[in-house]
Chains A and B, each alone.
Chain A
Amino acid sequence: MKKNQIFQIVLLIACIGFVGTPKASAQQVVSGMLIPKVEQLNKGGLNTQSLKQLANELERIALAHPQDWHAQYYASLAYIELANLSAKREIDNLCDRADEYLKKAQLIRPNESENYVLKAYLLSARINVNAMFRGASMGRESKEQLDLALRHNPNNPRAHYVRAMGIYYTPAAFGGGKKKAKAHLDASLKAYRENTPANTLDPSWGRNEVEKLLVTY
């Protein structure tokens, strides 16, 4: 009887384990699809054509899994990175597409710091279309988004990085320049070192760029 009881308990646990598994597998399916692509995106160094393909792949995942925040986030990020590599006349269209997925990410997680950072990063990409005339208003809006990002997570390294980048490329006469960007780059690197993402898929981009910029000092 005792052996039978042990067998029954083990069987029950196995069933519960089996039952438990299917509910997680949908998430795992998405994660499984995203991880290699996100790694490719984070690694950087892709040419325009490869990045375009990657962006399309991430878009397909985002559309097939509309409730997955990571899928929307990385689809948006990929289009922003593509905008940063593209000719001026294509930037707005690419940013519009990035915005489409960012909006969905914002609906899924309304108070997420990384969403605000991404919005600021998107605006920085748009400024490149015509920095002389977009710099003032979009730069202002970008700073506002970063303030919101830091309000929700004061240790977000990417918020410090995007801010640093904005200052680095703003003419010194307007309160920008390499010198003034240093403090924000330092804050960013410190935050990267002290904060590791909770989840493999959580945003971790930007550290390489911060380190590259710091080397220029």
Chain B
Amino acid sequence: MRNILITFLLVFISGLAGYPPLFAQNQPVSRIHEVSRIHGQVQDRSGKAVSGANVFIKGTVEGTSSDENGHFSFETSIQGDTVLLVRHISMEDLEIGIVISESMPALALRMYDKTNLVGEVVVVADQGLVLLDGSRATTLRTMDVETTAGGDGDVVGALQTLPGVQQIGNNGALFVRGGSSEEAKTLIDGLEITHPYYSGIPDLAQKSRFSPHLFEGITFNTGGYSALYGDALSSVLALTSRDHPSNTSTVLAMMLYGLKVGHDYVNPQRRTSFGLDLGYSDFGPYFKWIGHRTNWLDAPINKTANANFRQNIGDHGMLKWYGYGNLSDQKALVPDYAWEAGGTVLTESPLRVKNNNLVSLLTYTHRLNEHWRMYAGYGYNTNSDLTANPSLQTDTREQQHQLRLNLYGKTTERTAINMGSEVYFNSWDQQSETNYGIELFRRSLLKNNRWDTWVDFSYRPIRNLIAQVGLRTAWNEALVEDFLLMPRLNLTYHAAQNSFSASAGKYAQQPSSRYLYQAGNPQSSVVNPWADFGKLEHAEVTHYLLNFQRKNFGRTLRVEAYYKDYKDLVQTTPQLVSGGSGFARGLDFFWRDQVAAKGLDYWISYSWLDTERQYLDYPVQTRPTFAAPHTLHLVAKQFVEPLGIFVGGSYSMATGRPYYNPSAPAFLSDRMPTFHQINLNFAFLRKWGNTFNTFVFAVNNLTGRQQIFDYRFSPDGNIRTKVELPYKRGFLVGWFISIGKDRSDEILNQLP
């Protein structure tokens, strides 16, 4: 009997231990049997009643919803210190400590609108790349990359209708806010792409290599970017690659000048995936059809491969590899500006440009815990440009290894930190020989190594204010002042749908390899790895920006004013030094409306730019050739439901850029005529069986207007030739088929 009683007691006590109501955590102190009424009113910041708010005791189900007058009332048996939580879908959560007693006064609860998440300082993207640039960056999802009319199907083309970007018709690269194209950097998954554009004959705009459909996200920052990025004086275009596809699929694209085949595979557990696509294009027949003005001997032939591999590692890691390879070749008769016969006859001579490019990017991201992540990346770029004319052949090769490490996360509720380090091992080599194999010169820069580190700290002292302070260091083996400190600061204030931002920061960039080599020993024809690196420094710029943005359900307004102060730019005459300087100031305006009418999406972007610089061979400080004072874009896209098609159009205008005229009284004082261009595109989708088909038709320069981008002069200055758009109208006709998965939005995003 006694044994049974003991057993009973033991079992009873152990049972009580497992009885949640007696030992549960997070239960408020309760004196049972007393009931109190919690009541009051919920209002917004202007005193207006908030209906439908969820008012309750945190951690419990005791609560109620506020009525149409904002009033609430509920009873609870919980007494003493507790926390009242109020939630509403369009307001910031409100938590207040209250002491519940028998008789409670009416509570007046004030709620505030949610802050605009575009200004959120720490956005941890799935790919592990932290975007810390708040409202100053245009963050685009691939569907938002409105590769609208004129874009020609590449990322950069899409961006040229945004404010701050100059439209330079004979050069397809990014010229941002008075900066040259070299001042804009392209990154994929945090790793640098050394040659983001195709190589081609001079004065013919070359597209960027990467099409938007490869990427999950595109962040384009036109200035004042954070300490995460370096070696770019003007802007950073950061692309993040996609994660696992959900289905295996095959894609086939056919265009007037080529075709592409691709296949994506993902395993059933969705932890391993890989893809490959191969493309081939031959522009010969197409250029003939549109009457391309270049005198082609061999029109461009491009062979491209894109490959990717993704593997989940454990529960929190992701390994990604992206590879790209391209072989391109072209040959044309190009104007030979040597000007035969005493300077009056412009001759043409054949020029061949052959390019091989390979990119290999490997990244690993790991979620350490709820708040912290780490990233490691290795990037490899190799590029070879062979240019050959009847007498001379020059082979330029560049190779770069990059290693990037990054740790980032939230240190407290109000603070976050991002720190990291990256190293670059770069070598550059240029060899020229005659067509008889006699070496004329060899220039090598075998050790152009750099090391950057950064720390970026963000702090939210009060609800509406975010402060971001960063410091980046740069060390470059090839330069004089081999260690540079670059502070960067940003303050952003949110009020409802508005955000105001002020930034300042110091940025630097190393001179390009050909100048770095020259700085060593310009006359030598011997491999010169230890050239006297004493002559050049980092080019530097200080950015100051003020930004206002308002986002209100389908409408975006952004206005930004900036001032950039350049120093230590490369000068080549009378000697090679880092002695150039300049400034750029301007105003960018952007308005987008996606709700004005059903199915209509349009935007207007306007830029005013005032800039001068003295660099390279400029004898004085003046406006550079790539800066137009006023640039305007009007872009619109409309879905026509009865026909099931998208129609898009764009109008671009840029007032005259300077051009060089040897007879002009002042250097670069002549101005090009104002540029106007209209582009149009149509796209429609059809599903036939298991295939999703997208048809695209687009016209560039719809009116056939003559577009002049530059002039070239004879030595005596009397004869002038035009550098112009090489065709009257350009056309894109494409048929894109995906089997197994609807990938139609990938081609919609490539609409020119």
Cα A172 to Cα B686 with chains together (Å): 9
Query: With contacts A19-B12, A94-B89, A148-B270 known, is A60 near B61, CB below 8 A?
Result: yes
Residues of A within 8 Å of B349, CB to CB, are none
Asked whether any CB of chain B lies closer than 8 Å to the CB of A61, the reply is yes
Contact A173 B644 (CB under 8 A): yes
Contact A22 B599 (CB under 8 A): no
Cα A97 to Cα B54 with chains together (Å): 13
Residues of B within 8 Å of A59, CB to CB, are 54, 87
Asked whether any CB of chain A lies closer than 8 Å to the CB of B461, the reply is no
- Which of B20, B90, B644 is close to A93, meaning CB atoms less than 8 Å apart? B90
Residues of A within 8 Å of B19, CB to CB, are 22-23, 25
Which stretch from B1-9, B426-434, B450-458 is at the chain A interface?
B1-9
> Nearest Cβ in chain B — how far from A19, in angstroms?
3
Contact B14 A175 (CB under 8 A): no
- Which of B12, B114, B687 is close to A175, meaning CB atoms less than 8 Å apart? B687
Residues of A within 8 Å of B12, CB to CB, are 15, 18-19
Contact B15 A22 (CB under 8 A): yes
Asked whether any CB of chain B lies closer than 8 Å to the CB of A43, the reply is no
Cα A68 to Cα B363 with chains together (Å): 36
Contact A64 B60 (CB under 8 A): yes
Contact A63 B4 (CB under 8 A): no
Query: With contacts A19-B15, A136-B143 known, is A11 near B4, CB below 8 A?
Result: yes
Contact A26 B20 (CB under 8 A): yes
Residues of B within 8 Å of A89, CB to CB, are 553
Asked whether any CB of chain B lies closer than 8 Å to the CB of A217, the reply is no
Query: With contacts A8-B4, A64-B60 known, is A174 near B14, CB below 8 A?
Result: no
Residues of B within 8 Å of A60, CB to CB, are 54, 56, 60-63
Contact A151 B268 (CB under 8 A): yes
Size of A's binding interface in residues, CB under 8 A: 52
- Which of B8, B59, B142, B641 is close to A11, meaning CB atoms less than 8 Å apart? B8
Cα A33 to Cα B62 with chains together (Å): 12
Contact A137 B60 (CB under 8 A): no
- Which of A19, A53, A139, A175 is close to B11, meaning CB atoms less than 8 Å apart? A19
> Nearest Cβ in chain B — how far from A137, in angstroms?
4
Asked whether any CB of chain B lies closer than 8 Å to the CB of A183, the reply is no
Cα A23 to Cα B22 with chains together (Å): 12
Cα A19 to Cα B743 with chains together (Å): 57
Contact A93 B89 (CB under 8 A): yes
Query: With contacts A171-B644, A173-B643 known, is A140 near B11, CB below 8 A?
Result: no
Residues of A within 8 Å of B686, CB to CB, are 173-175
Q: Chain B contact residues (Cβ within 8 angstroms of A): what range? A: 35 or more
Contact A64 B8 (CB under 8 A): no
Contact B744 A136 (CB under 8 A): yes
> Nearest Cβ in chain A — how far from B401, in angstroms?
36
**589-645 of chain B: CB within 8 A of chain A:** 594-595, 598-599, 601, 639, 641, 643-645
> Nearest Cβ in chain B — how far from A128, in angstroms?
13
Asked whether any CB of chain A lies closer than 8 Å to the CB of B565, the reply is no
In the complex, what residue of chain B is closest to A4 when comparing beta carbons?
A: B1
Residues of A within 8 Å of B350, CB to CB, are none
Per-position contact with B for A74-116: 1 when CB-CB < 8 Å, else 0? 0000010000000011100110110000000000000000000
> Nearest Cβ in chain B — how far from A26, in angstroms?
5
Residues of A within 8 Å of B554, CB to CB, are 129-130
Cα A139 to Cα B601 with chains together (Å): 19
Per-position contact with A for B665-683: 1 when CB-CB < 8 Å, else 0? 0000000000000000000
Contact A144 B246 (CB under 8 A): yes
In the complex, what residue of chain B is closest to A15 when comparing beta carbons?
A: B11
**231-273 of chain B: CB within 8 A of chain A:** 245-247, 268, 270
**19-46 of chain A: CB within 8 A of chain B:** 19-20, 22-23, 25-26, 33
**175-214 of chain A: CB within 8 A of chain B:** 175-176
Cα A96 to Cα B63 with chains together (Å): 22
> Nearest Cβ in chain A — how far from B738, in angstroms?
10
Asked whether any CB of chain A lies closer than 8 Å to the CB of B745, the reply is yes
Query: With contacts A136-B748, A171-B644 known, is A23 near B18, CB below 8 A?
Result: yes
24 CB < 8 A contacts A-B: A12-B7, A15-B12, A16-B11, A19-B11, A19-B12, A19-B18, A22-B15, A22-B16, A22-B19, A52-B52, A56-B87, A93-B90, A93-B114, A130-B554, A132-B598, A132-B599, A132-B601, A137-B143, A140-B742, A145-B246, A147-B247, A151-B268, A173-B644, A175-B685
With A15-B8, A20-B15, A93-B90 known, 17 other A-B pairs at CB within 8 A are A11-B4, A18-B15, A23-B19, A25-B19, A25-B20, A56-B65, A60-B62, A63-B58, A63-B59, A63-B85, A93-B114, A129-B554, A132-B598, A132-B599, A139-B742, A143-B741, A144-B741
Q: Which residues of A contact B (CB under 8 A)?
A: 4, 8, 11-12, 15-16, 18-20, 22-23, 25-26, 33, 49, 52-53, 56-57, 59-61, 63-64, 79, 88-90, 93-94, 96-97, 129-130, 132-133, 136-137, 139-140, 143-145, 147-148, 151, 171-176
**The 8 A-B residue pairs with the shortest CB-CB distance in the complex, in nearest-first order:** A175-B687, A173-B644, A19-B15, A144-B246, A22-B19, A56-B54, A132-B639, A137-B143
